[in-house]
Amino acid sequence: MSDSSKSPINGFLMRLPAAASGALAASGDALKPAGNKFEFEPLFSTPASNLGLAADGGGGKDWILARPKESLDGGNPWDLVHETREMMAGGLGLASGATPDLIEPDLWQDWLPTIPGQPEALAAAGDVCAFEDQNQELPGRRGEFAWHLDDRFSQLAGARDLVGSDAAIVRVAHLDTGYDPDHQTLPSDFIEKRLQRNFIDGDSPDDARDPGNTGPLRNPGHGTATLALLAGGRFQFNGAGYHFDGLLGGAPQVRVVPVRVGNSVVQLTTSSVARGIQYTVQLSTKKRTRVHVISMSMGGVASQAWADAVNQAYEAGIIYVAAAGNNFSAGFFGVPTHQIVYPARFRRVIAACGVMANRKPYYDLSFGTMQGNWGPRSSMATAISAYTPNVPWARIGCNELVNMDGAGTSSATPQIAAAAALYLQVHAEELFDAQRYPEPWMRVEAVRRALFLSADKTADRGRSEKLGNGLLQAMTALEIAPATPTTLRKTPADSAGFPFLNVLSRRGLADSPEDQMVQLEATQLIQHWENTQQINPLESAVEDPDRPAEDVSPNQIIDFMERVREHPKASKVLKARANEYLDATVRTPKTPKRPTETVPPDELPPGNLPPGNLPPGESLPGESLPDKASETTPSLGSFTPPPPPFRSLHAYAVDPSLATSLETAEISEVTLKLPWEPLKPGPVGEYLEVVDVDPPSGCVYEPVDLDAPALLAQDGLPPSEGSPQFHQQMVYSVCSLTINHFERALGRKALWRPGPPKPGVHPKNDAHYVGQLRVYPHALREANAFYSPSKIALLFGYFNASSDHPGAHLPGGRIFTCLSHDIIAHETTHALLDGMHRQFLLPSNRDVHAFHEGFADCVAMLQHFTFPELVTHQIANTRGSIDAQENLLVQLASQFGHATGRRMALRDAIGKVGEKGWQLREPDPQEYETTQEPHARGRILVSAVFDALLSIYKRRTADLLRLATGGTGILRPGAIHPDLVQRLTREVTRSAQHVLTMCIRALDYCPPTDITFGEYLRAIITADHDLVANDDLGYRVSFIEAFRRRGIYPPGIRTLSEGSLRWRSPESEDPMPSKMLLDYLKELRGAGSDHLYAESRKEIFDLQREMRYQLHAWLSRHFESGADAQRDARFLGLDPEKSFEVHSARIAYRISPDGGMLPQLLMGLLQTTTQPVDPNDPHGDTMSFEGGCTVVADLRANNVRYCIRKSLQSPTRLERQQAFALGEYDSLQATYLGARSLNKESPAQDDQSSAHDDQSSAHDDQASVRDDEPFALLHRGPSL
């Protein structure tokens, strides 16, 4: 046998026609691939009826091991396989002239997952016989030895008590690393030593004992430990808080056949496992040696030899239980893969998954911790879960020692195998009756049915995703009578390749040997991944590769093939085949025939397919099939092109006013690149629904179809003020651009605020999912535009320009707010911010509404810098000094401002218009103290953010200016060089993108209510530090300085240092959270994988609500328990005696500038009380007073990073809000209760019927507008 330390393979496994294999073994001919010689050894024969793949000629097949006489050093195993196949195709080596129909490498495989820098152990394996207790970091049952046997868990103890002393003989083949015959737990009477075999060490084929090598080897005694769990006898242990005297194994009366297929370091070969399985089949040909159950706590990559052997075991009536596999946690995913390994993944095998003592799946553990495999969905149909970790683990070489740190799905497997054996013993009379069950496979299905039906399906919220059929309940299973034969269905034969990989075939009459081999290799690749920073790319490309081929979309196959050809462990032949497929599928043009009648795809009845997706040989009604003359080239199947990565659409860079000036006409238009999505006329997509109804005129404009080929070919409609369809395109494109910026910064999908609850439902019920924000381009005939929280819609107005001071516009000309990039981006930001922080609509202090307005302006302004043409033009015009003179980059809604008679843009980040024209506005610390109006106060926030951007930009370009000016830093008069313009443009664009990302990302670090500008500064600093610890370019210092210059200081800090401004970690809090609370929050990390695999925003919405429900239920119980309740309530800023809500719960995957990823869990807790506005008048007017916290948790490190509180029990904060309400709330209400009502020009222009409305009714209407539409009247008039 070759040395696994030098070569990854032990030889080649070849499947040949039965007649040819005998001739080959007898011939002694040598093969010489890569300069190495081989000797041939027969493994086993497979009847044609048991083959997983179609056999040529209908005859049986023989598996042969071609073992190297010399070591195979280096090289890709599959490259060596293909070299061997080519030699055989040339007639070398086989005396009979026949060639193998399949060759695969006989791989050395590690059962335990290994990744760089991680420990290599399944259970503790020290060099001394010292007791190892349960891992305190993982769920267990402290002080309960062998707790997994209890009726609260597997029920194995109770089930084995039902088996009498004269029970039928049931024989279990134990495929593992061997056993320790001297260990106290293993009763020698039940070990059938005469039948034991060793297929891993050639020197002792009839000795399955484990030599128990220690030292640098990993986990010696794996087989001894799993055998003790399967059939261990009486064991006594008193110590370390345990008192145990009982049977350790789940089925101690079964006969055990030890079959050694792995060495002491838990390494196996493909051939050793195949031989082990085949040996059990051979034993089953005789009644006195018949094997009934296989227990195998090992596994590896796919193998057709394994598939053929498994099929024979199934046909022989052997119940096969195999471990699902293990992986290391890399935060929210597992390495190398979380998917079930082989042979457990075969449908004819029971996959043993793990469930922990707390009834949660054995997954979502701390970074670097070993955990159990699960999935994909189709493989979980034959999976069941048993208990691990912290179960007994017998120690080899220490005859009287059983530790309590057993882990991995290795520990779960023998529990399930024991339950299967017990069921056979209890129901032997029926199950072994050949008249009742004439086919042996029926016995397999009967036992599987009982185990699956009896399993506890209530864990993990009843989901089968990670637990399969549920949790093992052995005693409950015994109560289920064996099924009648007519109800049993035979499981189809197993094969080792993913069905969809048939696309790799070259489409002959039957798959060639090479076809089958590349399919098998591609299947094996999914288990080869070691990168802890990125999820296994093949695993994420096709969610469930075991599905039928027709259920895997072409786009998923393309994605899979693209990643195969880039995989570092793929062979040259496989990469070439992947390229062939991609060339033929992605790049080959194909002209479909036109059907006689066009039917929209969404109107086709179930089972029908749109053109281009028809199965070969079928046509649409009225469409003829191609004639035979056209069939000169074999069809590669229907071609569906992949969607493009983005959609290009024309838009105004700022607004239409630039097109009317010769100086700016060339930069008036931009082409936006937006994420691709299919659109219906409107446009209507996943996030947006444009509805073009004009209520004042009664018009309904025809919706634009941006998926029309003519528009796709020219990047949509050209900009036009007179085309309603372009207006629709404009709002869609800018809204989509803004959404994309938010999603990239936040690391998750954007969701809108939930819709209003249905009548009769609690008013706070937010279960109404709203998938699309409605956008009305022509909703208002007035100088206004606003976001409507009640309608979850954007409403844009149009009006006539001022006749007195129209600026550059036609006096009295029509102005459309839906054509202003700035207004659209501003209103979209309101909607996005409201979807994240609904409580930011409650004006609890002067900053709340000002923050909404200022933040929306920041996003709109910073998006200017994403338009290269505009930035280049303005950099050239200002000679790089964008803070020294009036320019378009720092102005918002220029057309709107001039058209309403302001003689300047609506808002300007750095300047103002005075008697001497435009003037630079100097920071004034007193302005923050005295300014009240939300838009004006919001402008302070905008100027601070822009000031920070300017500081960053100047720092990044200082060296350029020194080079351009010879060190003086002063540019010569005149235009600056175009190369300098381009470099300055690049730097300011990058700076603005970073600042925009920082501003948006900070929203997740804000308190859930009562936001202030100072707290937003802390959020910016903390959020940026979490992703970029080294602030070498001074971004955070620039923000701190800019806010300080405007008198914005966060409350409760002692200095303005970066360290003081960052939110405090729980370790530095007073009080600190309890361990119970921190442990529970760590458990919520499991939601990370749920969100990662969510298929839609609706599913994400539902997952978030479920997470909120679970958190609320746990906290409610925790607060009622009394243990640490007061302490944790103070930490969370809550009053434990009052009701509370989990206002938000989100998962985010943030990407740092260097490409690193930070997975986070974000939760918002909220509590509301009613307090008097005047503390001296407790029976007077009241106000809502809210408190709570935002919790930020790191899913990778599995800890809580911050708890950002607004304490409900803070008397200081209550006094501030009462003072604000007393002194300023009335004037704020007056802002909302303006003279105009929604969608009306003014009261004077109402029709005569409105004159009959009484005053109270008018006041109610206005109050309704105030409560439901906070932005409607706030935006009305010159402020917008």
Q: Which residues are catalytic?
A: 176, 222, 410
Print the SS3 string covering 416-457: HHHHHHHHHHHCHHHHCCCCCCCCHHHHHHHHHHHHHHHCEC
**What does DSSP assign to residue 262?**
B
- Which residues have C-beta within 8 Å of that of residue 705, sequence separation ≥ 6? 679, 680, 681, 683, 711
Give SS3 for 690. strand
Taking the C-alpha atoms of residue 948 and residue 942, their distance in angstroms, rounded to an integer, is 10
Which residues 6+ apart lie within 8 Å of 1095 measured at CB? none
Q: Where are the beta strands (DSSP E) in 1152-1259?
A: 1157-1172, 1182-1194, 1199-1206
Closest alpha carbon to 1085 in 1203, 1202, 1201, 1197:
1197
Q: Give the HSE-up count for residue 942: Cα atoms under 13 Å, Cβ half-sphere.
A: 29
Report helix angle 77-89 to 513-525, nearest 10. 180
How many C-beta neighbours within 10 Å does residue 463 have? 12
Structure token pair of residue 55: 């056999």
CB contact at 8 A, 314 and 267: no
- CA triple 1093-1094-1095, angle to 5 deg: 110
Which DSSP string do the residues of 874-903 spell out, in sequence order? HHHHHTT-TTTS--GGGEE-HHHHHHTT-S
Please say whether the beta carbons of 350 and 448 come within 8 A: yes
Token couple for 755: 């819709």
Q: Which residues pair with 1241 in a beta bridge?
A: none
Letter string b/e over residues 697-731, b meaning 16 or more CB atoms within 10 A of that residue's CB: eeeebebbbbeeeebeeebbbebbeeebbbbbbbb
SS3 content of the chain, % helix, strand, coil (to 5): 40, 15, 45
Nearest of 622, 642, 473, 445 to residue 556 by alpha carbon? 642
φ, ψ dihedrals at 746, nearest 5°: -85, -20
- Pairing between β-strand 255-260 and β-strand 171-176 as defined by DSSP bridges: parallel
Is residue 346 a contact partner of residue 491, using CB atoms and an 8 Å limit? no
What's the CA gap between 293 and 1044, in Å, rounded? 74
The secondary element (H helix, E strand) that includes residue 1092 is: helix 1087-1092
* Interatomic CA distance for residues 772 and 685, integer angstroms: 8
- With a CB cutoff of 8 Å and minimum separation 6, the contacts of 49 are 315
Nearest 5°: phi and psi at 179? -150, 165
Q: How does strand 197-198 pair with strand 255-260?
A: parallel
